[in-house]
Amino acid sequence: MTVVFWICAPLMVLGALGLVLFRKAVHSALSMALTMVCLAVLYASLSAPFLFAVQIIVYTGAVLMMFLFVLMLVGVDTPDSIVETIKGQRVLAALGALGLLGLMVFSIGGAVTAPATTTAAAEAAAGGNVEGVAELLFGRYVWVFELTSALLITAAVGAMIFAHAQRTKPKLGQKERADERMKAYAASGTHPGSLPNSGVFATSNSIATPALLPDGSIAEESVSRTLTERGVQLDSAQLKQITADAFAAAERVGDEEDEEL
């Protein structure tokens, strides 16, 4: 027991510190997982095998996974800024934490004096840890147990309501979209049809390639505006140049052959 504690305890403190100090939320979540698993082990060492299983399944399994899902949803890779925006918050927080620590150490330090009685006797009376917990759960605490079911249902409904997004505009069908386009054309002359495809050249058919109009000028609209703004649009003049060079070389070769002949 003592050995297990002294292995797990430092790991847990490290995990907790990691949770607070890592700049990326994913790292925080993973270090929290470490703390949770170690905590489960400590439960086992305190002869609470049922809670050991529940801790692994509920916390490490369900709750942490949910945290990770939400992390994925809101963006994983944005590290927090480490600049403190509220004046004096860090100093005061550190002071508060120290005060809390001192207070609790002071109050708990002398709380336990007797040697532990262990739960062995209680478990033996009920025929095992799980049976003992079950007896309390469905016996003395059955009313609380029922209340938690109401709580869980309420929480589930509440979560659904939060996650549900109200549509702010009516859904547009094909007809409405077509009408809108024609309206835009009538109002500002926007082209109602589809945009021109990107260009196809011998050396490139990427969507970053602009198309050429029959007069040889470039159709700007054939390349996505995002690509243009990023500056990855290929220069069609250059692309043309390659082909033109190739044709010119071939012609030159042809000419030389003609001369040789």
Partner 1 sequence: MTPMEVVDPVAATGLFGYAWLMIALPALGALLLLVFGRWIEKIGPYLAVLLIAGSFVVALLLFLQQLGSPADQRAVSVPLYTWFATGSWQIDVGLLVDQLSILFALLITGVGGLIHVYSLGYMAHDERRRRFFGYLNLFVAAMLTLVLADNYLVLFVGWEGVGLASYLLIGFWQHKPSAAAAAKKAFVMNRVGDFGMILAISTMLAMFGSSAFVDVNHGAPLLEGPWATVIGLLLLLGACGKSAQVPLQAWLLDAMEGPTPVSALIHAATMVTAGVYLVVRSHAIFDLSPDAQAAVVIVGTVTLLAGAWIGTAKDDIKKVLAGSTMSQIGYMMLAAGIGPAGYAFAIFHLLTHGAFKANMFLGAGSVMHGMNDDVDMRHYGALAKYLPLTFWTFGAGYLAIIGFPLTAGYFSKDHIIEAAFARSPLVGSLALLGAGVTAFYMTRLMLMTFGGRKRWVDGVHPHESPAVMTVPLIVLGALSLVAGAVMNSWIQGWLEPATGGHPHEVSLLPTVVGWATMIVVAAGVLVAWLVFGRRPIPAQAPAGNAITVAGRNDLFGDALNDALVVQPVMGMSRAAVANDARTIEGFVHTLSTGIAGFSVVGRGTQTGYVRSYALTMVLGVVAIGVVVILGLGG
Partner 2 sequence: MIDHYLYLAVILFVIGALGVMIRRNALVAFMSVELMLNAANLALVAFAFQHGKLDGQVASFFVMVVAAAEVVVGLGIIVSIYKTRRSTSVDNANLLNR
Name the β-bridge partners of 218: 212
Please tell me whether residue 99 binds partner 1 under the rule CB under 8 A: yes
249 is in the binding site of which of partner 1, partner 2, none (Cβ under 5 to 8 A by kind)? none
Select from 107, 166, 194, 226 the one that contacts partner 1 (CB under 8 A): 107
Among 62, 93, 147, 184, binds partner 1 (CB under 8 A): 93
Site for partner 2 in 81-110 (CB under 8 A): 81, 84-86, 89-90, 93-94, 96-97, 100-101, 104-105, 108-109
Q: Does 29 interact with partner 2 (rule: CB under 8 A)?
A: yes
When CB distances are held under 5 to 8 angstroms depending on the partner's kind, the choice from partner 2, partner 1, none that residue 106 binds is partner 1
| Among residues 155, 182, 184, 232, the one that binds partner 2 under rule CB under 8 A | 155
Q: Does 106 bind partner 1 (CB under 8 A)?
A: yes
Residues of this chain that interact with partner 1 (CB under 8 A) are: 86, 89, 92-93, 96-97, 99-100, 103-104, 106-107
